[in-house]
Amino acid sequence: MKNISSVLLISALAFNYSCTTTMKTNDIKQEIPVPDASLSSNPFMKKSKLQYEAPEFDKIKNEHFKPAFEFGLKQHDAEILKIANNSEAATFENTIVALEKSGEILKRALITFSNLTSANTNPTLQALDEEYAPIFAAHSDKMYLNENLYKRIKSISENGLDSESKRLVQFYKQNFEIAGANLSSADKEKLKQVNQELASLSTQYSNKLLEARKQGGIFFSDAKELDGLSADEISAAASDAKTAGQAGKYLLALQNTTQQPLLQNLKNRATREKLFKASWTRAEKSDANDTRETIEKLAKLRLKKAQILGKKSFAEWKLQDQMAKNPEAAVKLMNQIATPAVETAKREAKDIQDLIDQQKGGFKVEPWDWNFYAEQVRKAKFDLDENQIKPYFEITTVLEKGVFFAAEKFYGLTFKKRTDLPVYHPDVVTYEVFDHDGKSIAIYYLDFYTRDSKSGGAWMSNYVEQSYLLGTKPVIVNCYNYQKPAAGKPSLISFDDVSTIFHEFGHSIHGMFASQKYPSLSGTNVPRDFVEFPSQINEHWALDPVVLKNYALHYETKQPIPQALVDKIKKAGTFNQGYMTTELVSAAALDMDWHSVTNESQLLPVLDFEKQSLNSHGFTLATVPPRYHTPYFAHIWGGGYSAGYYAYLWSETLDNDAWEWIEKNGGLTRENGDRFRKYILSVGNSVDLNQAFRDFTGHDPDIKPLLRNRGFIK
């Protein structure tokens, strides 16, 4: 995923502020405050001296954030007032460019803060997050709801502007309208209140969920209960238990999704059931980490916000500036995928039940059995065993000889490890990225391993965004939650995990190739249902024969993966797609339902609402639960994917269609890479993205390649 919550907030602040209603005259000078001596050692006050303004993690301390926020808010307020109250006629330069340049200190502090609260938080940062979420929401509203500023933006002539600048004017106008610039004063006041409450609730939700995941892991006292796990996995569980203060026991920690990767290998059915139920119920235990009440408040308030803004539902409001444009288009896409997905999942369930019956199991398949038996069906059908593959996927080899290698072959990029730049945690590694002509283009951090201070899942985010106007180059991070191997042991991952690393790096390339003047339109600052397109395209390289041969090396023998095994992986490519698609599309439908309510009375208690939603779409297979259950659906309650989880499917339509074009035109060639970079990766949001897609493929997106790729049609 793309870490959108932080970026949204930051880009919101990029064009943010001020609330006087009378024009001040030119002789009232707006003083812009400068930092005083008390702030002289605060690392956020000045541009970092490190390469590409990479954050000075060796100097940044918890106590620097609050003063940086306070000063940054004051400075940004003054800058915005000055722009809004300028007595000269509004021009592109004195209004929009000035806004793009404003808030430098605040943005610098905030971008680091939001990255750290996701990747390496602590109680001080969590408390600050709760304290400042409503303050930042109010700060953002001050600009969007400023009448003078909106009038100025509307009056700017686009004559003589280049195409990126014209697009930026349109972008500002649209964002002001979406944010409520046309509302009456009374409605603006109501909206401000709602936005602040929403920001607080969302932060509370994320903090509760982080704790719920941490507390949700289960301890086992006997290694026998973990039968089926590898010796390394068992020793990791023992060391996790020790760290958690229960030496002698074994701790199975929770991943953020419903299904837990270890379920595939756990032979003891009671252990599987315990682990699955711990996952499913993690945030509904009626304790301090129960998220349901917060969710119910969020859903109600989002509806209220949409109604203030003159829309029927939150989804209708949210989708205005997305590729889909309205919920109907997103729902249409989901329906096209849901029916064949559920049908396929039913056949898969039957295969699994047949196997259980053959083995005289004497029970009906439950969700905690699915992956364990699916794995056996896969072995029987395709003679393919996940444990046969894993020794070929050592994590750093996958990265350097797979992900980096594909980027070199396709785009000409090269990478050099850096050990001189400070990092925020000892597990983080750093690379410098060089273009095909040898020019340095970006700094790239990589943070592989799970820890209690990190949010679940995998994501990409920027520490510094590319902009010619600001003279900045990208500083990017990819975060994951892989189990850290015991000391001296290799980190061996599944093929799904390999795909995830290619995926997140696809977001990173999108950021690295950004080539915009204005930060608001740069790189991955694109609609949510487009942002997953470059990342999903990049996943395909994992199975490219040239790439695969280069990275899939046995961790002991260093021998490349045998061709016979590769053939099996490919043949098994559509295996379990009914399950995987159903869990994805049911989560997407659930998200859209939560945000499509048009009346408060439609909002039932969380678990009832979810049940009703899933039933109404025909997601009735109890064995195939949604990828995220409402209480821990962090994308939509804590992140920026509310009414936007369908984006994965929308982007996948673009991805599969564009991938067919690449394959038909020779696959892994520098020529194809340059073309994809030119039309898609380097344009940010500076052009019409539907047109960008047409420029690349020569046609409008077609859903058939997606259905073919998932094995639903021939």
Which amino acids are annotated catalytic? 504
Looking at the Cβ atoms of 236 and 680, the one nearer to Zn ion is: 680
For the record, the structure tokens of 336 come out as 């096209």
Secondary structure of 629-689 in the HEC alphabet?
Answer: CHHHCHHHHCCCCCCCCCHHHHHHHHHHHHHHHHHHCCCCCHHHHHHHHHHHHCCCCCCCH
Minimum distance, C-beta of residue 536 to Zn ion, in the bound complex (Å): 7
With H, G, I as helix, E, B as strand and everything else as coil, classify residue 443.
strand
Minimum distance, C-beta of residue 532 to Zn ion, in the bound complex (Å): 5
Give yes or no for residue 421 binding Zn ion (CB under 5 A). no
Q: For residues 445 and 463, what is the distance between their CA atoms, to the nearest angstrom?
A: 10
Minimum distance, C-beta of residue 504 to Zn ion, in the bound complex (Å): 7
With H, G, I as helix, E, B as strand and everything else as coil, classify residue 560.
strand
Minimum distance, C-beta of residue 634 to Zn ion, in the bound complex (Å): 14
- Count of CB atoms situated within 10 Å of the CB of 114: 21
Give yes or no for residue 1 binding Zn ion (CB under 5 A). yes
Site mask, Zn ion, residues 263-302, x = CB under 5 A? ----------------------------------------
Degrees (nearest 5) of the Cα angle 368, 369, 374?
125
Minimum distance, C-beta of residue 455 to Zn ion, in the bound complex (Å): 14
Please name which of 270, 452, 271 lies closest in space to residue 262, comparing C-alpha atoms. Answer: 271
Residues 391-410 that bind Zn ion (CB under 5 A): none
Minimum distance, C-beta of residue 531 to Zn ion, in the bound complex (Å): 7
310: left (phi over 0), alpha (psi -120 to 50) or beta: left
Q: Which residues contact 68 (CB under 8 A, 6 or more apart)?
A: 39, 42, 44, 45, 105, 106, 108, 109
CA dihedral (676, 678, 684, 689) in degrees, to 10, reads -70
Looking at the Cβ atoms of 17 and 505, the one nearer to Zn ion is: 505
Minimum distance, C-beta of residue 58 to Zn ion, in the bound complex (Å): 30
Site mask, Zn ion, residues 79-118, x = CB under 5 A? ----------------------------------------
Interface stretch with Zn ion, choices 1-9, 104-112, 199-207, 371-379 (CB under 5 A): 1-9
Please name which of 630, 521, 573 lies closest in space to residue 100, comparing C-alpha atoms. Answer: 521
Q: For residues 389 and 493, what is the distance between their CA atoms, to the nearest angstrom?
A: 9
Looking at the Cβ atoms of 284 and 539, the one nearer to Zn ion is: 539
Looking at the Cβ atoms of 535 and 576, the one nearer to Zn ion is: 535
With H, G, I as helix, E, B as strand and everything else as coil, classify residue 587.
helix
Residue 74 burial class via C-beta count within 10 angstroms: exposed 0-12, middle 13-18, buried 19 and up: middle
Helices 292-308, 185-216: axis angle to 10 degrees equals 160
Looking at the Cβ atoms of 105 and 706, the one nearer to Zn ion is: 706
Which residues are bridge partners to 227 per DSSP?
A: 229
With H, G, I as helix, E, B as strand and everything else as coil, classify residue 367.
helix
Residue type at position 416: K
Q: For residues 122 and 549, what is the distance between their CA atoms, to the nearest angstrom?
A: 42
Give yes or no for residue 120 binding Zn ion (CB under 5 A). no
Site mask, Zn ion, residues 494-533, x = CB under 5 A? --------------------------------------x-
For the record, the structure tokens of 4 come out as 């959108």
Can you give the length of the chain in residues? 714
For β-strands 459-464 and 250-252, DSSP reports them as unpaired
Looking at the Cβ atoms of 268 and 494, the one nearer to Zn ion is: 494
Please name which of 23, 332, 255, 14 lies closest in space to residue 151, comparing C-alpha atoms. Answer: 23
Residue 347 burial class via C-beta count within 10 angstroms: exposed 0-12, middle 13-18, buried 19 and up: exposed
Minimum distance, C-beta of residue 635 to Zn ion, in the bound complex (Å): 10
For β-strands 429-434 and 218-220, DSSP reports them as unpaired
Minimum distance, C-beta of residue 712 to Zn ion, in the bound complex (Å): 22
- Count of CB atoms situated within 10 Å of the CB of 633: 28
Minimum distance, C-beta of residue 647 to Zn ion, in the bound complex (Å): 9
Host H or E run for residue 219: strand 218-220
Give yes or no for residue 535 binding Zn ion (CB under 5 A). yes
**Alpha helix locations (H) across 15-146?**
65-84, 98-101, 104-119, 123-144
Residues 37-66 that bind Zn ion (CB under 5 A): none
With H, G, I as helix, E, B as strand and everything else as coil, classify residue 252.
strand
Looking at the Cβ atoms of 1 and 706, the one nearer to Zn ion is: 1
Whether 514 and 522 have beta carbons less than 8 Å apart is answered as yes
Looking at the Cβ atoms of 1 and 476, the one nearer to Zn ion is: 1
Whether 306 and 317 have beta carbons less than 8 Å apart is answered as yes
Looking at the Cβ atoms of 220 and 482, the one nearer to Zn ion is: 482
Looking at the Cβ atoms of 372 and 448, the one nearer to Zn ion is: 448
Looking at the Cβ atoms of 141 and 529, the one nearer to Zn ion is: 529
For the record, the structure tokens of 461 come out as 């985010």
Looking at the Cβ atoms of 1 and 512, the one nearer to Zn ion is: 1
Q: For residues 446 and 429, what is the distance between their CA atoms, to the nearest angstrom?
A: 5
Minimum distance, C-beta of residue 527 to Zn ion, in the bound complex (Å): 13
Looking at the Cβ atoms of 290 and 532, the one nearer to Zn ion is: 532
Minimum distance, C-beta of residue 113 to Zn ion, in the bound complex (Å): 22
Give yes or no for residue 3 binding Zn ion (CB under 5 A). no
For the record, the structure tokens of 108 come out as 């610098």
Degrees (nearest 5) of the Cα angle 276, 279, 283?
145
* Start-to-end C-alpha separation, the chain: 29
For β-strands 429-434 and 459-464, DSSP reports them as unpaired
Minimum distance, C-beta of residue 158 to Zn ion, in the bound complex (Å): 33
Number of residues counted as binding Zn ion (CB under 5 A):
3
- Count of CB atoms situated within 10 Å of the CB of 381: 12
**Binding residues vs Zn ion (CB under 5 A):** 1, 532, 535
